[in-house]
Amino acid sequence: MSAILASFDLARGVVALVIAVALFGVVRTETNPAETSTLEISVNLRNVPSGLFPEPGPRTPTVRARVSAPRDIVSGLQPSDFHASVDLSGARVGADDFPVTVDSSAPQIRVIEVLPARIPVRLEGTAQKSAAVRVNRTGNVPPGYDAGPTVVDPQEVQVVGPSSIVALVASMGVDLKMDGVTVNVDATSAPTPLDAQGKAVTGAQQLKITPETVHVQVAVTQQLSYKTVAIQASVGGTPQSGFAIQGITVEPPVATLAGAPTALSGVDFAASEHIDVSDANGTLARQVAILVPPGVFVVQQDLVRVTVRIGPLDIAQTVTTAVTADNLPDGARLAGKIPLVQITLDGPAPAFRLLNFGDVKARVDLSGLGPGTHSMPVQVSAPGDFSIVSVIPDLVTVMLEAPAQPGPTSAPSEESIVQS
């Protein structure tokens, strides 16, 4: 009896639970009623048979799905909340209409209608072809360098994929920029499928390319070397007598040369065009060319200004002259002669040809001296073009004596008469 009562109580409990759930659903439906919304959803093609490809179109196929969901959910629905697909299992080459399935992982959402319910899909087979690799070189190597022919390995690649896309492939392109390149190019690049107009093929991502990369080589050689060297002025001839070259300047003093490395390796300087200074007696300035050996050239300015400074030649000459006694004291007289002196002059050679040696003066000043022997410095003067190098001797001995006093008158002796 107790078992029967227990079973009856359990049944009543289940009925009560069902009624409670139903009442909760009714209350919830009244407070949060279902609403509908329409969304555009992209269709995914799945289970494509091996060897077949959906024919590419201008855009991914889409359908419009009308769905129902509680009010608090429907306002936030996004196309990404749904999955639309077409199952292509068993499909063949050609066009056909396939049903579209739209579902959602949320149980509160119900798909009411899909428009269109079926979409056309065209499948195409696989094609393959060999396509030549074309290297598009742009830009130039710097001056003085040369780029050889392009070597690509392999010269052809295999292209496999949808027949409509493979048919568009006319060649495989590789871009190679040569601007500023001074070393050999040795690169690995992935070629790009190109159509007959040289443009990238649309849908090329569906193609399989074998091999995926090619090896590109270009030999870059240096045709010219550069070297900066000093410019040596080439000057010949003899200036006018008495004149000499006092200095040579070159402006600019250096030049940048270019040429084949072998031709330039032995060049240590550049000479100017020859300048003749024969019989010149003044500074010469000439604009002349820079001379370089065969196979070498001057990069920029190939003229230089050479200035040859020519001036009088300074020489030294010795003059022997007498010394003049100045300011002899009253009541004194010289006893003997003052020695001659040798005066060495330095000056321009042309000035010596015009020099009057009488213009070179040597003197001693006897002011304030009394009788006796005196060692006196020699004072020398010369014309302004000359400088005094030395005076030998520079001290001379001067003897002064008082005048003789008159004595008593006497008859001349016989001996004095005879001498006179």
Reply yes or no on whether the pLDDT at 13 is more than 80: no
Give the confidence band of 21 by pLDDT, cuts at 50, 70, 90.
very low
Per-residue pLDDT averaged across 219-245, rounded? 88
What pLDDT digit, counting tens, does each position of 62-76 carry?
A: 999 999 989 888 888
Per-residue pLDDT averaged across 103-110, rounded? 86
What pLDDT digit, counting tens, does each position of 352-382 carry?
A: 878 888 888 999 998 888 888 889 999 998 8
Can you list the positions of beta strands (E) in 88-210? 94-99, 101-104, 110-115, 118-124, 126-138, 145-153, 156-162, 171-177, 185-189, 192-194, 208-210
Give the confidence band of 415 by pLDDT, cuts at 50, 70, 90.
very low
Are 300 and 256 spatial neighbours (Cβ–Cβ below 8 Å)?
yes
Nearby residues of 220 by Cβ (< 8 Å), 6 or more positions away: 141, 145, 146, 147, 148, 181, 182, 183, 184, 185
Per-residue pLDDT averaged across 286-305, rounded? 89
What pLDDT digit, counting tens, does each position of 179-196 carry?
A: 999 899 999 999 999 999
* pLDDT reported for residue 289: 93
* pLDDT reported for residue 358: 81
Cα 415 to Cα 157, 358, 409, 412, distances in angstroms: 147, 44, 17, 8
Reply yes or no on whether the pLDDT at 386 is more than 50: yes
Give the confidence band of 145 by pLDDT, cuts at 50, 70, 90.
confident
Q: Mean pLDDT, the chain, as a whole number?
A: 85
Per-residue pLDDT averaged across 131-140, rounded? 94
Global pTM exceeds 0.75: no
Are 126 and 159 spatial neighbours (Cβ–Cβ below 8 Å)?
no
Selection from 317, 203, 222 nearest residue 260 by Cα: 222
* pLDDT reported for residue 165: 92
